[in-house]
Amino acid sequence: MNKLMKQTIKKISLVLIASSMAFSAWAISLDQAKQQGLVGEMPNGYLGVVVASSEVSSLVAMVNKKRKDIYLNLARKNKITMQQVTKLAGEKSISKTQSGHLIKNSAGQWVKK
């Protein structure tokens, strides 16, 4: 793995930590949504709606907007594509997902990790 990719992975890790801190006002709601299987992590670096409701959809939209802003900044700073950033972020998010929470597999199905 080249130096740029390692740096980008480190930055994405820090961003994921920072973004979870930034969502501290909703941390309980996001955590509850994950525990209840209402949302899950997707390979594209974004949160997905598993069980639709207006509350869940609003939460997912807010989280994903923040993530997109962070990903755009990372792509610009590191002179890589948005696709590269979201792929790395997706891999990192899925690897950090707690056992029992939902992730979207390569077949597009929601499965428990």
Domain containing residue 76: 53-113
Could you tell me if residue 69 is inside a domain? yes
Could you tell me if residue 37 is inside a domain? no
Could you tell me if residue 85 is inside a domain? yes
Could you tell me if residue 57 is inside a domain? yes
Domains in the chain: how many in total?
1
- 3-state SS record for the chain: CCHHHHHHHHHHHHHHHHHHHHCCCCHHHHHHHHHCCCEEECCCCCEEECCCCHHHHHHHHHHHHHHHHHHHHHHHHHCCCHHHHHHHHHHHHHHHCCCCCEEECCCCCEEEC
Output the pTM of the full model. Answer: 0.76
pLDDT of residue 25: 47
| Residue pLDDT tens, the chain, 113 long | 677 777 777 777 666 655 554 444 444 578 899 999 999 999 999 999 999 988 899 999 999 999 999 999 999 999 999 999 999 999 999 999 999 999 999 999 999 99
